[in-house]
Structure 1
Amino acid sequence: MLALGVGVGVVLSRWMPTAAVQPQVAAERKVLYWYDPMVPGQKFDKPGKSPYMDMQLQPRYADEGDAAEGSALRVAPEAVQALGVRTATVERRELAAHVVAPGTVQLNERDVSIVQARSGGFVEKVYARAPGDVIAAGAPLVDLLLPDWVAAQREYLAVRALGDAALGAASRQRMLLLGMPESLVAAVERSGQVQARYTVVAPQGGLIAELMVRQGMAVSAGMSLARINGLGSVWFEVAVPEAQAGVVAMGQTAELRFATWGPEVFKARVAAVLPEASGETRTLRLRLELPNPGQRLKAGMSGQASLQGPTRAELLVPSEAVIRTGRRALAYVVDAPGRFRPVAVQPGREVDDWLVITAGLEAGQQVVASAQFLIDSEASLRGVLPQASASAAHAEVHSSRGRIDALGRGELTLSHEAVPALRWPAMTMDFKLADARLAAGLRPGQAVSFSFSKQGEDYVVVDIRPQTASKGGRP
């Protein structure tokens, strides 16, 4: 950066009028002082060679402003053209929150059937089934010999032969209470014969997840024989970054894409937002549910989910217009042709090649979109960077909703909802305004959504917007 700054200083100094190169212009412009671009804080009352570097001192003219006053950087039109400076307009657009996250297909654990033995007995036959097989509803699984059922059937047939209707009805009811299905009882009535062997069938079609029975083994009442998972619908589990979790909600529609099926889009809905976030990956798990006709989606397949949140008006600038380092985020606003002012901004999320700005800029302003690093180097040398604002711009920003209780000059009182990130309960407190213009159009009693950060000892509102009647109200 030091070498780049020296190079830019040399380029700009060649294009900007100086006393040595253009004496006739210097006579017309008032010189405030001379300075060394490498040590901009030191001022000299006459031209000459810098005591710090092997270079001539540069003049600071009155019409350029004073760096000590936080003025903008003035660059000659020829230098602007030579550096290839390009500008862009700060735009306000209706933008939908958008989340794209990877996920995997899982079996729908809500569509599960457990097949159990209803009475004690013995396994006489196991059909050709194995875990992982896909079967249809009504497919036979196992033949059982259940002695208690055989005894109850013989008793019923004997009572029915006596012709006593009351005893016959009681005996029939006993068979049902032992767990015999209505179809088996009807077969006994119809044939007049004991049905010694009972075939257990699949109550639904799907995947045999477990098969816990083998030929010749004994079974007891209530013992699980098989577990069948339906395949009519599947889950798609997604890991959403914690910072984007506010976009998702129950019942929300999502679009899924799989490499197996190319550009085809599958529609799903958010069936559950799991209550625990991963402490290792800082993600929140979502469970999407979608139909699976033809069983095209298999458990374990990976894909990508796209979720759209509600739309809201956002300020946008080209991503390249913001200079972001570990301690500041700056954009250069064009105040006039050749005059650039560094402004500390609060960047939000990126949407394609655009960056959301939550504080620092206004719609319609012109910002530098190219060669701003060269301008930034020169601004750093001249000491015109907004250090305090840049530091504040990287304070952590939190969002909440509330109601305005009082509105003053540069501050307001809000009754707001709980802020889990700060472990704040719902309460009423005072906030400063980052810009007094944020209060324009607001009034006490109005429901608002707002964003704030801690700057020094104060909590400062950096963005505040009225809520509609349907969303507003007392928090």
Structure 2
Amino acid sequence: MKGIYIFLFAAGLCAGGVAGYRMKQDAPPTQTRQILYYQDPMHPAYRSQKPGTAPDCGMDLVPVYADEAGAAARVDNAITISAARQRQFGIQTVPASVDAGTTSIRLFARVQADETRVFKLDFGTDGYVKETHDDAAGSRVTKNQRLATVYSPEILSVAGGYLSANERASGSSSMTKEAASSAAQGAATAGARADRLRNLGMSDAQIEEISQTRKLPEDAYVVSPVDGFILSRNVAPGMRFERHMELYRVADISRVWVEAEAFGQQAEAVQVGQKGRVLIPGSTHSMDGVVVGVLPEVDPNTRAVKIRLRVDNPGFKLRPGEFVTAELTTSVPRGVTVPVDAVIDSGSTQRVFVRADDSHFVPRVVRTGAQIGDRIQVVSGLEAGEAVVLSSTFLVDSEARLRSPESSR
């Protein structure tokens, strides 16, 4: 009987051993934690591919495991900054948000005379200049002010015909039928002669003077057609001139053009009809204007697009050729924005640092757009809600630059 119990006990041990062996064979193998690198606990920027001591403080390097580093450790160029180091740097992050608004852009600009208010003064016949009167370039002139006295036989001949036609056109209401017909014919001839005088270069003021005085003038006068300024003068007393030779150029600058230079996205944001302001250097005055054109040409030297504003110029505060600043307010559509201080602009590229987890930051190249107050739009490279470094951005950038291939062994 005792032998039977011994046999059963031995059989149980055997069965248990076989089952234990099978369970061991079926159990998954123990997983070994993957070490990504070793780093200096005091200066996390220093990394090594094997254990050892830190060269600066002599402390043992600590391993960084893949499961601890998280997703940031598997991203190229991730920067590791411990919580203590972040507090020391004063690093703060803010989430990227979606915003819309308006922005003001200031453009370098120059005052130009409105070409539709620039007048070229000439004669449709030959002649010579007898004298000139206060006609220096840059002088301010008034409408119908005499600038020069000229002699032209053709003008005087046509003026004589105009005077005779006016005499035939005048008469009383009791004139005969034949006289009335002659007067009507004279009036038509006088009108034609007046048009001929205008084409030759005589002013309406002098034509009216002939009608009033009924005297044939000895000379013709060059007069200013508007209140304005003389832009150019090409005459001198005693000088002969030919048909359609430009004698003067006079501009009415009570309204002027201000042509500003815009680049890239600035030019795309400007629209015809948009309101703007013109700021005069060295003055507290500003003048309202409106965009009347975005010129199609691009300056081959500066690659700038010309933006033309029309500005009323009471008191002639703006002078042609003067440099000013044009300020335009444009609407910015909704888009991802971050604080301006979060973006590091190297000129050729812009980048931000995105928080991957509590101790890892990833540099991200972005493309920026319009600025809205103290925020700037990010056109590409960043999603709304991602946290970016706001303060001590340049310290994080310096920490990133310290990491180089030579620091890994």
TM normalised by structure 1 equals 0.61
The one-letter code sitting in structure 2 at the alignment partner of 1:242 is G
The one-letter code sitting in structure 1 at the alignment partner of 2:289 is A
CA contact (8 A) 1:124 1:215 kept: yes
Structure 1 stretches of 5 or more lacking a match? 1-29, 384-475
Q: 2:271 aligns with which of 240, 246, 249?
A: 249
**Residue number in structure 2 paired with 1:319:** 340
Give 1 or 2: higher strand fraction.
1
Correspondence list, 1:85-234, <5 A: 85-152=91-158, 154=160, 157=164, 160=168, 164-165=182-183, 168-169=186-187, 172-173=190-191, 175-179=193-197, 188=210, 191-234=213-256
**Residue number in structure 2 paired with 1:347:** 367
| Structure 1 residue 238, shift from structure 2 partner | 1.6
| Range with bigger deviation, 130-139 or 116-125 | 116-125
CA contact (8 A) 1:152 1:174 kept: no
Aligned counterparts of 1:320 and 1:381: Cα–Cα separation in 2: 22
The answer as to 2:267 corresponding to 1:261 is: no
Structure 2 stretches of 5 or more lacking a match? 1-31, 171-177, 405-409
Q: Secondary structure at the match of 1:361?
A: coil
**Residue number in structure 2 paired with 1:64:** 68
| Structure 1 residue 136, shift from structure 2 partner | 0.6
The answer as to 2:316 corresponding to 1:295 is: yes
Aligned counterparts of 2:123 and 2:194: Cα–Cα separation in 1: 14
The answer as to 2:301 corresponding to 1:284 is: no
| Range with bigger deviation, 313-322 or 136-145 | 313-322
Bigger radius of gyration among the two: 2
The one-letter code sitting in structure 1 at the alignment partner of 2:270 is V
| Count of matched residue positions in the alignment of Structure 1 and Structure 2 | 348
Q: Secondary structure at the match of 1:276?
A: strand
Q: Secondary structure at the match of 1:213?
A: coil
Aligned counterparts of 2:57 and 2:330: Cα–Cα separation in 1: 56
Q: Secondary structure at the match of 2:253?
A: coil
Alpha-carbon distance change, 298 to 382 in structure 1, aligned in 2, over 3 angstroms: closer
CA contact (8 A) 2:339 2:374 kept: yes
The one-letter code sitting in structure 2 at the alignment partner of 1:340 is H
Q: Secondary structure at the match of 1:224?
A: coil
**Residue number in structure 2 paired with 1:366:** 387
RMSD: 4.0
Q: 2:89 aligns with which of 79, 83, 87?
A: 83
Alpha-carbon distance change, 364 to 199 in structure 1, aligned in 2, over 3 angstroms: same
Alpha-carbon distance change, 345 to 96 in structure 1, aligned in 2, over 3 angstroms: farther
Q: 1:356 aligns with which of 377, 388, 394?
A: 377
The one-letter code sitting in structure 2 at the alignment partner of 1:311 is V
| Structure 1 residue 293, shift from structure 2 partner | 0.4
Alpha-carbon distance change, 203 to 63 in structure 1, aligned in 2, over 3 angstroms: same
Alpha-carbon distance change, 379 to 284 in structure 1, aligned in 2, over 3 angstroms: closer
Q: Secondary structure at the match of 1:137?
A: coil
Map Cα deviations across residues 315-337 of structure 1 (whole Å, 9 max, x no partner): 222333345667783413264xx
Which one has more relative contact order, counting CA pairs under 8 Å at least 6 apart?
2
The one-letter code sitting in structure 1 at the alignment partner of 2:338 is V
Map Cα deviations across residues 6-54 of structure 1 (whole Å, 9 max, x no partner): xxxxxxxxxxxxxxxxxxxxxxxx975462557746255xxx5479996
Q: 1:333 aligns with which of 355, 380, 383?
A: 355
Aligned counterparts of 1:138 and 1:149: Cα–Cα separation in 2: 19
